[in-house]
Amino acid sequence: MLTVCFALQGESCRGSGLAHGAIMARAIRRHMPAARLVQLSNLIYPALPGVDLVLRRENTGDFIRWAFRSMLDLFDCTDGPILQLATDIVVRRDVSEVFEQSFDVAACRYPLMDRTDGAYCGDTNFIQPSGRHVWKEALGHYERTPAIQNGWEGGQTAMLWALQQPGVTVLDLDFHTYNFTPERPGQIPETAAIVHYRGLRKTFMMHDQIQEVAYAV
């Protein structure tokens, strides 16, 4: 069974974060109803509607360390492939066809205008069972390297290091298909399977949901 997971704690729960998470979960339920939806959360925040399982872990202050360890918790209690998403993402169709290809981890690299080091966007990861060790390696590298313990970018740097290790097969996905980032409300091409409302674009997410653009069949 395919598992779709997301993290809900800290910054993702401030302001309209819970509403964004609810939109993300609703889209999964609409387009991928057979998937098991798992919420990774701290000890406080409630389960979102439609979630099948909540895995809780206390956050002691370092979100990146918490996120890596929460994924390891998930690996311990589930079999099969995993799609990891952020709460500011909307899936517009079933994307499980990606898992028919051969890889350990499939992800999208940031455009060069955003990052020049070739890092992958950590908010959309397709994980085969053979790729689970990558998260353990990334956590170890993060904890051994104080210089990268600086928030989101440090976590992505640790993941890039782990994905570049010998024996890891990474499938580079098309950014505009599997991590499309709109520049204005309603700017969603038919080819976009996953829309990522990162940064200030989260306001577009609410607009598109109201207009039902994000839920086009």
Over residues 176-189, the pLDDT tens digits come to: 999 999 988 888 89
Q: Is 206 exposed, middle or buried (0-12, 13-18, 19+ CB in 10 A)?
A: middle
Q: Detail the DSSP E strand segments found in the chain.
A: 3-8, 36-41, 53-56, 82-85, 89-91, 105-109, 120-127, 170-172, 194-196
Residue range 42-53, pLDDT digits in tens: 998 889 999 999
pLDDT at 215 over 50: no
Strand pairing class (105-109; 170-172): parallel
Q: What percent of the chain has pLDDT over 90?
A: 72
pLDDT of residue 10: 65
pLDDT at 144 over 80: yes
Q: What is the pTM of this model?
A: 0.92
pLDDT at 213 over 50: no
The helix/strand/coil state of 110 is: coil
Residue range 75-125, pLDDT digits in tens: 999 999 999 999 999 999 999 999 999 999 999 998 876 777 888 999 999
Strand pairing class (170-172; 82-85): unpaired
Any long-range contacts for 152-155 (C-beta under 8 Å, 24+ apart)? 152/64, 152/122, 154/64, 155/64, 155/67, 155/68, 155/122
pLDDT at 200 over 80: no
**Residue 104 neighbours by CB under 8 Å, 6+ apart:** 127, 128, 130, 131, 134, 168, 169, 170
The model's confidence at residue 14, banded by pLDDT at 50, 70 and 90, is low
| 10 vs 137: which has the higher pLDDT | 137
Q: If you average pLDDT over every residue of the chain, what do you get? A: 90
pLDDT of residue 115: 77
- For the chain, domains (ranges, CATH) are 3-210 (3.90.550.10)
